[in-house]
Structure formats: C-alpha cells, structure tokens
Amino acid sequence: MFLWENSTFGELVIYYEKFSIKGREKLKEIQREFDWSIEQLDWLIACIGFESQFKPRARNKISKATGLIQFMPLTAEYLGTTIDALLEMEDYEQLEYVKRYFKPYAHRIESLEDMYMAILMPRCIGKTPDANVFSSYKAYKQNIILDLNKDGKVTIEEATARVRRIYDSGKSLN
C-alpha cells in the first residue's frame, strides 16, 4: 500500500501498486471528478480487482466482457469504443472509459455493494443486501457461481462477497 501522493487525506489507497503511474493519476482524476472519498475509490479498486485481477487485457471467453471492469460489447459501443479497442489499451487509457461508465452512477454510490452493483446490475444500486440481483433465469445461470448458498437466486450480499474479501484484504495490508 502506498500513501496517496500529494493527498490532504493522509490515507492509504488499496492496491495502488497494481496500477501504472499514469493509471494512478487517472484514479486521482476519477476521485476528484466524482468527489469521492478514499474509501469510495478503494471500493472501485476492489471491484476492478475482482472483475479483472487489475489486468486491462482481461477477457471473458464466453461473454466477451473485456477490461478492468469487464465491459460488455454494447456497453463499450455506448461509451464510444469497442471491446477490441479496450483490449489494446493500457490501464490509464481504459480508466477513462471506467470514468465515463460511472458518471451516471457516481453520486448514488454509498457502499461497496452499490459500487459493485453499478458494474453488475445498476438497477440494484441502493437496494438492501438481500435483494435478488437477477430477474431472469438466463442471467442467473450466467452468474450461478455467485449463488453462494445454492438457493436459486443471487442476492446483492452474495454477489458482492468476493469483492468484499478483496477490499478487506487490501485494507488489512494498510
């Protein structure tokens, strides 16, 4: 963990070392633009860790989701790029698209669960931890690995459990 350079917070940012110098600058820009706390930035970083293991070239072979937050092809197009273009980008370049993606949700994020729901299922931002994330059987089957108790539904708490472990691990290293 590293001190957030030139920060008035004097706090640590989790997994800072996983990003290039330009990537770190882009993270600072995202934090400033959305007026996020260090904790909110840590939530985003934990989500990136879960979705891509901090690798901008991560790609899901089945869904074609690509990059730091696993952009789906239609999402990439909506943001003005393609998954193939994202695959070629460095972390700092891709973080610009992460910022664009989060713009409509940034001021609604009040928890780690909200941050991850912004990525996985934005309609679930602000819902209770026991809320069911997937309304269709197809979506559930594509995400069945998140159903920790194998009861046929994925709650926000279950969906976020692995992200929470990444976040907690990062905080314990501070």
Average per-residue pLDDT for the chain: 92
Q: Is the pLDDT of residue 2 over 50?
A: no
Q: Is 1 within 8 Å of 16 (Cβ atoms)?
A: yes
Model pLDDT, residue 29:
96
Identify whether the C-beta of residue 111 lies closer than 8 Å to the C-beta of residue 164.
no
Of the pLDDT bands very low, low, confident and very high (cuts 50, 70, 90), residue 11 is: low
pLDDT in tens, 137-166: 999 998 999 999 999 999 999 999 999 999
Confidence of residue 8 (pLDDT cuts 50, 70, 90): very low
Distance CA 83, CA 89 (A): 10
Please say whether the beta carbons of 20 and 94 come within 8 A: no
> DSSP labels for 96-154?
HHHHHHHTTTGGG--SHHHHHHHHH-GGGTT--TTSBS--SHHHHHHTGGG-TT-SS--
pLDDT at 115 over 50: yes
Q: What is the pTM for the complete model shown?
A: 0.92
Tell whether the model's pLDDT for residue 128 goes beyond 50.
yes
What confidence tens digit (pLDDT) does each residue in 19-52 have?
Answer: 999 999 999 999 999 999 999 999 999 999 999 9
Half-sphere exposure of 80 (CA within 13 A, CB side): 7
φ, ψ of residue 136 in degrees (nearest 5): -110, 150
